[in-house]
Amino acid sequence: MGKIRGIGIDAVAINRMDSQRMTLHVLKRMFSATEVTEALELEGLLRSEYLASRFAAKEAFVKALGTGFRGISPSEISVTVDSVGKPSLVVLQEVKDRLCLDSCSVHLSLTHEKDLAIAFVVLEDFDGSL
């Protein structure tokens, strides 16, 4: 059985992620290379929703850690979506090592509601038994 290590939630106004604010320089500082590539394939509101949900996930994650972005950069965290649309967080191995996350599962939920992208994260420490 796992034990909850932390929870985090965040909401980002979608209009804050418009093309004028999200220059390539800003994108590279806030998002992983994969996320930047995927974002640049989208236009308009779809791009803004994509970026807002990903940044909300990163914020929710560091809130669940209890550290904020101390010791971790937003670009070291990436949101991926599987073939059926389930989102998950990918953290670089060096970050996992640095933050002692190897025995931790990350659960992520994303939603969009009107002008907001909202993310909820649960960090669960596991002991190896199911």
Residues noted as catalytic: 63, 112
| Backbone dihedral region for residue 107 (phi beyond 0: left; psi -120 to 50: alpha; all else: beta) | beta
Residues 6+ apart with CB under 8 A from 125: 2, 3, 4, 5, 103, 104
Q: What span, in angstroms and rounded, lies between the C-alpha atoms of 121 and 98?
A: 20
Residue identified by tokens 């850690």 is 65
Cβ-contact 57, 110 below 8 angstroms: yes
